[in-house]
Amino acid sequence: MRRKLEVALVVSFVLGAVAVAAPPQTLHLVVCSPGSPGSTQEAQPRMDAFAKAVSAKIGTPISAVYEPTDEGGAKQIASAGLAIVSLPFFLAHEQDLGLHARLVAVQEGRPALESWTLVTQKGRVGKAEQLAGFTIASSAGFAPAFVRGAVKSFGTLPQGVKIEQTTAVLSALRRAANGEPVAVLLDGPQAAKLASLPFAAKLGVVAKSPAWPAGLVATVDAKVPEKTWMAIQKVLIGLAADKASAPALAAIQMSKFTPLDEKSLESARHAQGRQP
């Protein structure tokens, strides 16, 4: 009997030691902003640099990958725990992927909140119904509900309007300036460059959205324990104040992570007729 007890204690100790020694589970982070330049392969060294810096600070291993397409991003995030995504992607997949907005991701040279701007040939469109037969081109064209919501203040878009995703925004603006039935929905940086175009005088702004978050950090479903997330959140918010972390932020073209602006996010949801 004593021999059996000793064996049981040894087995228990060994199993306990193995459990304690087991390495922490790697958290997978997906960065996705459809319509933005770059490929997964080109971005991987920068993703690795960011993941390594954050992992070192929280003590939990993180892997990171950049996915430039809507379909690819949704597929990757479905099996991930964390995501840094554009607002159009977040709103398009908030429900089907179980995304929970946690922080605002502020890109280099951009404010935390920014408006989307609808542009057409100057003087051609004065009300929403005049967009009948038009194509609205945008980097956010993969998310038609977002496009419609971004111009909601201008009125309801006619049913015949075609919404098209494009990375060739300059070409679309030139087509609009030349009188083609094209409108272009611009994000903040694109709109900021509008006045510098040689054909800017031929273009006019017809609608602007409220100021919304440009990007968000989200957890996926319930895959990240709250205690782990709180540690990650503290590290992400603190990166901007840590000079040694500047290269990590620059690696993913971010200037900082800030607390979530619930009011502006709710405004974006409401524009699409959505609830949180």
**198/219 same-domain check:** no
Per DSSP, 26 falls in state P
Task: Verify that 78 and 101 share a domain, yes or no.
Answer: yes
For residue 196, give the CATH number of its domain.
Answer: 3.40.190.10
Q: Say how far apart CA 101 and CA 229 lie, in whole Å.
A: 12
Same domain, 261 and 194: no
Residue 168 has pLDDT above 70, yes or no: yes
Four-CA torsion 89, 111, 211, 133, nearest 10 degrees: -60
Residue 15: is its pLDDT beyond 70? no
State yes or no: pLDDT of 80 exceeds 60.
yes
Tell me: do 144 and 203 sit in the same domain: yes
Q: What is the pLDDT of residues 96-149, one digit of tens each?
A: 999 999 999 999 988 999 999 999 999 999 999 999 999 999 999 999 999 999
Which token pair is 115?
A: 């408006």
**Integer Cα distance of 9 and 165 in angstroms:** 64
Q: Which neighbouring-strand residues pair with 104?
A: 216, 258
Does the pLDDT value for residue 20 go beyond 60? no
Question: Residue 19: its pLDDT value, please?
Answer: 43
Give residue 5's pLDDT: 42
Q: Classify residue 247: in a domain, yes or no.
A: yes
Mean pLDDT of the chain: 90
Residue 217's contacts (CB-CB under 8 Å, 6 or more residues apart) are 82, 83, 84, 101, 102, 103, 104, 105, 236, 257
pLDDT exceeds 90 at position 274: no
Give the DSSP H or E segment for 204: strand 203-208
Is the domain of 57 the same as that of 106?
yes
Q: Which residue has the higher pLDDT, 173 or 2?
A: 173
pLDDT, tens digit (0-9, with 9 covering 90-100), for 34-53? 988 889 999 999 999 999 99
CB 24 within 8 A of CB 81: no
For residues 120 and 199, state if they share a domain: yes
Chain segment 191-216, per-residue pLDDT in tens:
999 999 999 999 999 999 999 999 99
**What's the whole-model pTM score?**
0.88
**Residue pair 29/61 in contact by the 8 Å Cβ criterion:** no
Q: So what's the pLDDT on residue 273? A: 81
205's tokens: 């702004």
What is the rounded CA–CA span in Å between residue 126 and residue 262? 32
Structural domain that includes position 241: 25-111+213-271
Q: Residue 1 pLDDT > 80, yes or no?
A: no
222 and 107 assigned to the same domain: yes
CA distances from 53 to 48, 56, 63, 249 (A): 9, 5, 11, 9
Last residue of a domain, one of 209, 243, 263: 209
Q: Is residue 60 part of a domain?
A: yes
Q: Which has more pLDDT, 162 or 6? A: 162
Q: Is residue 13 part of a domain?
A: no
Residues 193 and 63 grouped into a single domain: no
| 69-74: average pLDDT | 96
Does 94 score more than 90 pLDDT?
Answer: yes
Tell me what pLDDT residue 128 has.
Answer: 94
**Number of domains the chain is built from:** 2
* pLDDT score, position 24: 61
Token representation of residue 167: 């990375």
pLDDT of residue 25: 83
**Residue in 155, 154, 175, 156 with CA at minimum distance from that of residue 166:** 175
Residue 219 has pLDDT above 80, yes or no: yes
